Structure 1
Amino acid sequence: MPLAWRSARLHSSSSQTPTARSLHFAVPGWPGHLAGQHVDVRLTADDGYQAVRSYSLAAPADGDCIELGVQAVIGGEVSPYLADQLSVGAEVEIRGPLGNWFVWRPDQTGSVLLVAGGSGIVPLTAMIRARRQAQPETPFHLLYSARTPQDIWYGNELTNVVTGLEVEFLYTRQAPPDNSRGPGRLKRTDLERPLARLTHTCLVYVCGPTGFVETAANLLVDLGQDPATIRTERFG
Structure 2
Amino acid sequence: MYKAQNNQLVLNSFILTPAKFLKFCYILIGLLLMACGNDKSEKTKEQTTSKTKTEKTTTTNSQTKTILCFGDSITAGYGLDDTNDAFPAVIQQKIDSLDLNYTVINSGVSGETTAGGKGRIEWILNQSIDVFLLELGANDGLRGVALSETRANLQVIIDAVKTKSPETKIILAGMQLPPNMGQDYTTEFRQLFIDLAKKNKLEFIPFILKDVGGIAELNQKDGIHPTAEGHKILAETVWDVLEPLIK
So what's the TM-score if we normalise by structure 1?
Answer: 0.29
Q: Which has the larger radius of gyration?
A: 2
Name whichever structure is richer in helix by fraction. Answer: 2
So what's the TM-score if we normalise by structure 2?
Answer: 0.28
Name whichever structure is richer in strand by fraction. Answer: 1
